[in-house]
Amino acid sequence: MKHIISALVENKPGVLAHVSGMFAARAFNIDSLVVGRTEDPQLSRMTIVVVGDDRVLEQVRKQLAKIIPVVKVQDFAGQAVVARDLMLITFAAPAEKRPEILALIETFKGNVVDIGQKTIMVEISGPEEKIEAFIEMCRPYGIKNVARTGTIAMPRQEKTAGGQQETTNED
């Protein structure tokens, strides 16, 4: 099962290497890992998508929490979250197909951010499935380049029955 793990970490050099090194050393699989600053300049947030069973995920949470510059770890499994991925995609867009391409982009609520003689670049955000679906729709035209941010996520206001699993060093 896919889990979205959110880790609040100290904004210090070496933290990313420590976290990614731990994942590699313990043979955990990372689907994606996103790091960005938070409103507090001392802290960054890492959003890590991990695939594994409950036993693996328990270890992932505990091993993350054990890393000293990691302040707090949350696993959003079983919780209502907003999860978003941002993609830039460039694909072939010959003049005769542009009307249908633009309609496709419109349907996916994408933005055309660059346009050339032969290609078009689109910015699109949303849940991962939407991004994947858009890639599939573009494939027949001939994809040139894809850049994706990986998932970031935040829990919704109302908690669902599953609740969230939080891990700190105190667990």
Partner 1 sequence: MKSDSSRPADSAGKSPILKSGPLTALRTGADIAVQALIDQGVDTMFGYPGGVVLPFFDKLYDAPIRFIIPRHEQGGAHMADGYARASGKVGVIVATSGPGACNLVTGLGTAMMDSIPIVAITGQVRTDLIGNDAFQEADTTGITRPVTKYNCIVKDVKDLARVIKEAFFIASTGRPGPVVVDLPVDVQVAKTSYDPKVEMRLPGYRLKTKGHSRQISMAAEAINKSEKPVLYVGGGVVIANAGEELRALAKKAHLPVTMTLLGLGSYDQNEPESLDMLGMHGTAYANYAVHECDLLIAVGARFDDRVTGKLKTFAANAKVIHIDIDPASIAKNVRADIPVVGDAKYILTELVNQVEYRERKEWFAKIAQWKKKYPMGYDRKSTNIKPQYVIEQVCELTGGDAIITTGVGQHQMWTSQFYKFKRPRQFITSGGLGTMGFGLPSAIGAQIAMPDATVVDIDGDHSFNMTLTELRTAVQYELPIKVCIMNNGYMGMVRQWQELFYNKRYSKSYLANPDYSKVAEALGAVGITVEKKADVPKAIKKMLTEKMPCVVDFHVEPEENVWPMVPSGKSLHEMDGLDLLESMA
Angle at 88 between CA 137 and CA 47, to 5 degrees: 105
Q: How far is the CB of 72 from partner 1 (least distance, A)?
A: 8
Q: How far is the CB of 23 from partner 1 (least distance, A)?
A: 12
CA distance 35 to 143: 27
Q: How far apart are the first and last CA of the chain?
A: 23
Number of residues in contact with partner 1 under rule CB under 8 A = 27
Q: Which stretch binds partner 1 (CB under 8 A): 10-18, 81-89, 101-109, 155-163?
A: 10-18
CA distance 156 to 171: 24
For residue 65, what is the enclosing H or E element?
A: helix 54-66
- Tell me the residue type at 20: S
107 is a site residue for partner 1 (CB under 8 A): no
Radius of gyration of the chain (CA): 19
CA distance 45 to 7: 6
CA distance 63 to 59: 6
68 is a site residue for partner 1 (CB under 8 A): yes
Q: How far is the CB of 55 from partner 1 (least distance, A)?
A: 7
Cβ closest to partner 1, residue 136 vs residue 170: 170
- With CB under 8 A as the contact rule, the residue among 1, 2, 12, 156 that binds partner 1 is 12
38 is a site residue for partner 1 (CB under 8 A): no
Cβ closest to partner 1, residue 71 vs residue 88: 71
CA distance 163 to 116: 48
Cβ closest to partner 1, residue 9 vs residue 101: 9
Give me the residues that bind partner 1 (CB under 8 A), please: 9-10, 12-14, 17-18, 21, 25, 55, 58-59, 62-63, 65-72, 167-171
